[in-house]
Structure 1
Amino acid sequence: MNNGKVKFFNELKGFGFIKDTNSDQDYFVHVSGLVDEIRENDEVTFDLQEGKKGLNAVNVKRA
């Protein structure tokens, strides 16, 4: 499990980005990878999964 903070999330389009707390890397997140509803600045935990354009955050839960 990784820890991070929601940097941006567009509820209408269903995607956003999470900034990893440890690496400062940004990861794409799609609404299909959410366990809980998220908003900008929420603290979250997540797993990483290879997607079409790199690593995506999946199993995203509010911390």
Structure 2
Amino acid sequence: MIECDEFDEMVEACIEAGTLVLDHGSEELQQIMRVLLYRLGQEVARREEQAFTGFPKLHDGA
């Protein structure tokens, strides 16, 4: 598994690359990058949720 610092560096690198691809890439590359960034966001959210498992919630969402 990737260590936390390495994962954060990878996320930053993907976001920087994504900006370039979305600004200058072909439509196909832009679509692929959108999928990559979306999946990366899902992984970030999963890791955040896992990190806070067991902590009390501040509100119930109501």
| TM exceeding 0.5 | no
More strand by share: 1
TM-score scaled by structure 1?
0.19
Q: TM-score, normalised by structure 2?
A: 0.20
Q: Which protein has greater RCO, CA pairs closer than 8 Å, 6+ apart?
A: 1
Question: Normalized per residue, which structure has more helix?
Answer: 2
Bigger-Rg structure (1/2): 2
